[in-house]
Amino acid sequence: MWLTEISDPTESYDATMTSGLKWAKKFHRFLCEANTGAIVWWAGAIPDGGTTEGLINIEKNRVDYEVTKRCEVFGNFSRYIPVGSKRIGVETDHAADSLFVSAYKNGNDFTVVAINPTASDRQTCLQMDNQAWNGQVSCALTDEKNNWSSYEATGNRIKIPANSILTITGSIKQ
């Protein structure tokens, strides 16, 4: 899916987490509802005149730039879901608009992406049918102040902070 083609060049420039979460939900829907196999953002860094078309906004002087939260959120998918991964089923007891969760498996490795677009923290339980994971999981948090920051999760109960996206990676025991 070429997402640059659906970005609206007339939409006002927004480099904040508000735009990041809007796009995170679009990424989730393309991957989970439309079963898209890959997401490509063609115009990564462009002098786009203050629109939402680029992930990185380059000023006309081609020196100054701003990395948008759209770019950081995109990284929660592109940095942590390895090429060749297969999406696997997810069950959640949260309302459909309060937590968006997708999971991917590649060999014995797994990645879970959880998007919390609400103003409240969300708790969720990470468990796998008939399988357990090796040791601890690693978590990467993106919110208004963090970009893929290390985030601690203890046990299988994981808190997903308000207005954030959390990517969880680990391995399945053999």
Give the percent of the chain with pLDDT over 70.
Answer: 91
Whole-number pLDDT of residue 3 = 59
Mean pLDDT of 46-74: 85
pLDDT tens, position by position, 133-158: 777 789 999 999 999 999 988 777 88
CB 100 within 8 A of CB 130: no
Q: Per the confidence metrics, is the pTM higher than 0.75?
A: yes
From 99, 122, 87, select the one nearest 21 (Cα to Cα): 99
Helix or strand run (H / E) with residue 111: strand 109-116
Whole-number pLDDT of residue 52 = 76
The tokens describing 27, both together, are 């990424």
